[in-house]
Amino acid sequence: MTMWLNSPAFPDAGAVPVRFTCDGENLSPPLEWGGAPAQARSFVILCEDPDAPSGLWRHWAAYDIPADRSRLPDGASLRAAELGFKQGVNDFRQTGYGGPCPPRGHGEHHYQLRLLALSSDHLPVGGRASCREVEAAARQSVLAETGLAGLYER
């Protein structure tokens, strides 16, 4: 079985609803996944914008997500401790999720959400780890990876 990731809020390559962007409530979108390898001990979710004018812009890194979890509700970023996961510092310099917020008139941006299944249950990163540091640590124990894209423009 192949690992998969989807969102009940938008289809792959579909428009991200405004409530999950900086123009709305800036909530992390609901996510569901399955098909992870049996050896998976945790998950990481990354969200980034490769179309940003300054290059890759990191919006979210959720990590140490327990292996028995197969979904995150909308707004999970605001309840990370309660839901049992940690978050990195994004390129907005904030811990947690920063929704799509492309420059006005810059055209459509492709927001990449990626799910990584890891062979380790905890990443060896500090409490204020950046999204880049979270991804670098996660790359050491990736068992499988899948993704989902969302589109947004202002």
**C-alpha–C-alpha distance, residues 123 and 64, integer Å:** 7
Kindly report, residue by residue over 70-127, the tens digit of the pLDDT.
999 999 999 999 999 999 999 999 999 999 999 999 999 999 999 999 999 999 998 8
pLDDT mean over 144-151: 98
Kindly report, residue by residue over 28-85, the tens digit of the pLDDT.
999 999 999 999 999 999 999 999 999 999 999 999 999 999 999 999 999 999 999 9
- Domain locations along the chain: 4-152
Class for the domain spanning 4-152: alpha beta
- Residue 52, judged by CB atoms within 10 A of its CB (0-12, 13-18, 19+), counts as middle
Look up the pTM and report it. Answer: 0.97
Residue 30 CA, distance from chain mean position: 10
- Residue 59, judged by CB atoms within 10 A of its CB (0-12, 13-18, 19+), counts as buried
Contact between residue 147 and residue 115 where contact means Cβ atoms under 8 Å apart: yes
Predicted local confidence at residue 127, as pLDDT: 85
